[in-house]
Chains A and B, each alone.
Chain A
Amino acid sequence: MYVAVKGGERAIAASHAVLAEIRRGDPAVPVLAVEQIEQQLGHAVDRVMAEGALYDRTLAALAIKQAQGDLQEAAFLLRAYRTTLPRFCASLPIDTARMTIARRISATYKDLPGGQILGPTYDYTHRLLDAALLEDTPVPPAPRADEPADPAMPRVTALLDQEGLIRRESGDGDADPPDLTRDPIAFPAARPLRLQNLARGDEGFVLALGYSTQRGYGGTHPFVGEIRFGTVAVEITPEELGFAIEIGDIAVTECQTVNQFGGSRTEKPQFTRGYGLAFGHNERKAMGMALVDRALMSRELGEDVTAPAQDEEFVLSHSDNVEASGFVQHLKLPHYVDFQSELELIRRLRAEAEERAAGPTREAAE
């Protein structure tokens, strides 16, 4: 039960003003431009788009500025903005095989067609803070090879498929997938819903669950079959045209894990797969998602469900940080009357307990 809080209007207006003042910071310091965030804090933009579940780099950058860098708050802003826009249609499924590759690596095959393309990654940096970034040090252009990277790069999963050793993707490739932003998720949840849930889920939560599968909480020994990062074209088929058109490109990160599977009562020994896909460049998220995706397949593979990462209801009900934050932080709302009742109850129970304790001695005294 909530108590209406009156007389707070002036305090709230003042609070907004304090927020704006603190957000601006020292006026002598140049104000942060949204395009600076968009250009130079790309990973923050990527994360906000992924968890806000809305791909728009400028809006995400604006949300980050408005939230003073609180990325979950920024995701919340994007989610709220999203409710004001009509949805025209769904795209054709993006074809990551036709990605304009910026980075592509495999931990299972050293010498694969197309090669290991490192691209922009922190993986080989030494994690030493760089004082040069305290100044506006000019950045020389990166080298270009004589030949562009081969745009046709077969999937690692296809290579394994040639030997028939990897579990094929099941399910109807053409069916319209369910949408958890339209109908609440019910359990057991089909794989398309699990993937949608994980894709917009909190990176930390998904990462931790993925980590848990590596530490023995369920899970099998995973290999990274392939990670790709780059841009893909987005196509739609507007009804008034009757043919597909490209509306632009988006950056995505894709992770395919390959997991050992000794077989079960129902399935023969083969490699099983995990899949992660995230807006922007986010390998941590895509990898965590792939590990959890695989863990959540236990039911379908006839494996025993023993660990949190395999518990579909646990994972999918708590992955959304906007939801989680909302419910946790709602505790800040006035619960005065609730608490008063609790207080009264505790006092009464205490009094009764003390009376019971005093009772026998009183009798003895009489």
Chain B
Amino acid sequence: MHTSAKIRDRQAWMGVLARADRATLEQALEALDPAPTWTRLRAPETGMVMVRGRAGGDGAQFNLGEMTVTRCAVRLACGAIGHAYVAGRDQRKAELVAVLDALLQAGPHAASLRAGLIAAEAARQQARREDALRRAAATRVDFFSMVRMG
């Protein structure tokens, strides 16, 4: 199924927001002027997602086990609707993610949030991933390293 560029963008920022620290999201929201206002379409709610795996890694699906997740849906004063599904039980974080999702879709703050919060967080998350992969790479066995004798 072909997803549009707009949807891919939104998928990307929702993933970045879900992985960000709550404090970072609070700061980003506080920095906005005028401050956004919103109503809750669905109050933050903690529940579970059943994580699925595949037999053999690529075969039939099976239910591995559940994980906690918190969701929220908000409507901004301008009418834009934002959604959040965030791993864990942080209800405030889920609400912040939903608000930011709405702000990022359209409106006066969309561009600045994208260039600011999202770009910075995406880079930070990528750097953390790379550091983990660098740490792992240091433990790779080099079977053919030569040791100088004599």
Contact = CB atoms under 8 A, between A and B. Distances in A.
User: Do chains A and B make direct contact within the complex (CB under 8 angstroms)?
Assistant: yes
Contact of A116 (B14, B51, B56, B141): B141
A192 interface: yes
Contacts of B15: 233, 245-246
A141 B10 CA distance: 36
Given A169-B60, A245-B11, A195 B55 contact: yes
B133 A55 contact: no
A246 to B, nearest CB: 4
B112 to A, nearest CB: 22
Contacts of A175: 60-61
B103 to A, nearest CB: 17
Interface string A232-261: 011010101101111111101010100000
Interface stretch (A34-42, A66-74, A211-219, A273-281): A273-281
A88 interface: yes
Interface in A77-98: 82, 85-94, 96-97
A145 B137 contact: yes
Nearest to B134: A144
A84 B83 CA distance: 23
B65 A94 contact: no
Q: How large is the interface on B (under 10, 10 to 19, 20 to 34, 35 or more residues)?
A: 35 or more
Interface string B56-88: 111111111111110101000000000101111
A111 interface: yes
A61 to B, nearest CB: 13
B53 interface: yes
B123 interface: no
Contact of A177 (B47, B58, B60, B130): B60
Interface residues of A, number: 85
B148 interface: no
Given A55-B65, A93-B53, A145 B18 contact: no
B47 A88 contact: yes
A142 B52 CA distance: 33
Contacts of A142: 135, 138
B52 A54 contact: no
A349 interface: no
Contact of A117 (B11, B64, B136): B136
Nearest to B67: A55
Nearest to B130: A148
A94 B58 contact: no
B92 interface: no
B145 to A, nearest CB: 13
B54 interface: yes
A110 to B, nearest CB: 7
Interface stretch (A17-25, A99-107, A129-137): A99-107
Contact of A101 (B19, B65, B88, B133): B133
B69 A118 contact: no
Interface stretch (A149-157, A300-308, A316-324, A355-363): A149-157
B131 interface: yes
B63 A90 contact: yes
B3 interface: yes
Contact of A115 (B56, B68, B69, B141): B141
28 contacts: A54-B48, A55-B65, A55-B67, A90-B52, A91-B49, A91-B50, A94-B54, A96-B53, A96-B57, A97-B58, A100-B133, A103-B139, A118-B139, A144-B131, A145-B137, A145-B138, A148-B133, A169-B56, A170-B59, A171-B60, A173-B58, A177-B62, A191-B62, A234-B49, A243-B3, A244-B11, A247-B69, A249-B87
Closest 8 A/B residue pairs (Cβ): A169-B59, A248-B87, A148-B133, A171-B60, A145-B137, A55-B67, A192-B62, A246-B15
